């Protein structure tokens, strides 16, 4: 875990057992989460706004990503 305060905001980064970024919090509010495959490549990312998932990104290989922006977690449309 690493923390840095900028003015009145405190940003905290969390890392997994192999030192890959797993989550980011701003003033204790979850901002982003990240997941990795067995080879250490990032395979998904979720960005939050007000504790509700707003954007989910699925990484497909080295060149493609699927992005879904939601009004509520688990709903919405996606595009490549």
Mapping DSSP onto H, E and C, the string for 34-58 reads: EEECCCCCEEEEEEEECCEEEEEEE
What's the rounded mean pLDDT across residues 67-76? Answer: 65
Q: DSSP secondary-structure letter at 28?
A: T
Measured between alpha carbons, how far is 75 from 22 in angstroms, rounded to an integer? 23
Task: Say what the pTM is.
Answer: 0.76
Domain residue spans of the chain: 2-79
Q: CA separation (Å) from 27 to 4, 24, 31?
A: 10, 10, 10
pLDDT in tens, 5-56: 778 889 999 999 999 999 999 998 999 999 999 999 999 999 998 767 789 9
């Amino acid at each position: 875990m690493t923390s840095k305060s900028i003015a009145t905001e405190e940003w905290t980064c969390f890392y997994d057992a192999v030192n890959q970024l797993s989550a980011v919090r701003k003033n204790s509010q979850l901002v982003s989460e990240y997941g990795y495959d067995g080879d250490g490549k990032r395979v998904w990312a979720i960005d939050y706004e007000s504790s509700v998932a707003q954007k989910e990104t699925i990484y497909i290989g080295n060149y493609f990503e699927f992005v879904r922006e939601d009004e509520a977690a688990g709903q919405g449309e996606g595009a490549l």
